Amino acid sequence: MRAIRIHQNGGPEVLQLDEVAQPAPGPGQIRVKMEASGINFVEIYQREGLYQLPLPLALGGEGAGTVDAVGPGVTGFTPGDRVASASMVGAYAEYALAPAHLTARIPAELDTQRAAAVMLQGMTAHYLALSTFPLQAGQSALIHAAAGGVGALLVQIAKMRGARVIATVGTDEKAEIARASGADEVVIYTREDFVARTRAFSGGKGVDVVYDSVGASTFDGSLNCLRPRGMLVLYGQSSGPVAPVNPQILNAKGALFLTRPTLVHYIANREEFQWRTGDLFQWIAEGKLTVRVDSTYPLEQAAAAQTALAARSTKGKVLLLP
């Protein structure tokens, strides 16, 4: 089968289309014939070496397709089932393995591409708004990169929770996406001061929470947008890693909270996974949550797909179609 792997760390040019053996599902695993694979920043970090993993490395953790084979001890799945997961091994490929307990059956009303597109980013938006900082009606949130894959979903979920949302984006086109997602105010950070706008939005008090996936270029400003005892949720670093922080800064700015969450700790068991995917699939079916697929690429164009995502020019999910 064909699979995208890296044999050394570096730029997009190190992504290599290899012929490899089909993986055999082990205990508790299923093998999926891939129909769509999600492109995410974590794979860029892995490719660059920011996250060190053994080489050669088969990239990709998210996707959807049909069950091709099941490993020992697996119940509840049979070949032919339509499934999606964000915990796959080597999803940039024609076949990939997934843990059965972190795999969801795709409902009939949901197409495979949207199922692949919503798994990682949808569950991320879900845990951010319902678990990390459980938004309540009347609270206020600043959401950075609000036209991106997670951002647009997070805005929609925050509004479902009854929160007031101010969103940052980079262009006028992306501002329209953020508004369509329900943002109460939108800041084009490339030409506006998002801190001043956020303080005004909050009546000078600061917002209850900032959801920041950008990192280095927004971190200091994000802290300055918070009310006393507010929380900065730093869940990504698309502009680069944040410099070391003196914890005393959190005290000086109002006894702030800072957390750096990641999805794996919020789908710690089958029940939590089913809660998140169940909500997402139901919201999509009811028309409450819109999932945007920005673009699709054939497997051999994985480098172009990652380049598009890294440029922060996308307006929704980027998928590979094996």
Q: pLDDT of 154-184, one tens digit each?
A: 999 999 999 999 999 999 999 999 999 999 9
pLDDT for 240 equals 83
What gap in Å lies between CA 138 and CA 16, rounded to an integer?
Answer: 49
Model confidence band, residue 237 (pLDDT cutoffs 50, 70, 90): confident
pLDDT tens string 18-43: 999 999 999 999 999 999 999 998 89
**Residue 29 identity:** Q
| Start-end of CATH 3.40.50.720 domains in the chain | 137-260
Model confidence band, residue 50 (pLDDT cutoffs 50, 70, 90): confident
What gap in Å lies between CA 175 and CA 301, rounded to an integer?
Answer: 29
pLDDT for 313 equals 73
| Start-end of CATH 3.90.180.10 domains in the chain | 2-119+269-321
Beta bridge partners of 212: 234
What gap in Å lies between CA 277 and CA 4, rounded to an integer?
Answer: 27
CA angle, 249 then 254 then 260, to 5°: 60
What gap in Å lies between CA 264 and CA 50, rounded to an integer?
Answer: 18
The pTM is what? 0.92
Output the CATH code of domain 137-260: 3.40.50.720
What is the architecture of the domain spanning 2-119+269-321? Alpha-Beta Complex (3.90)
pLDDT for 174 equals 92
CB 143 within 8 A of CB 155: yes
Exposure b/e, 265-302, CB count within 10 A at least 16 = b:
ebbeeeebbebbbebbbebbeeeebbbbbbbbbebebb
pLDDT for 277 equals 98
Beta bridge partners of 168: 187
Model confidence band, residue 149 (pLDDT cutoffs 50, 70, 90): confident
What gap in Å lies between CA 198 and CA 194, rounded to an integer?
Answer: 6
CB 303 within 8 A of CB 285: no
Local structure of 215: helix, strand or coil: coil
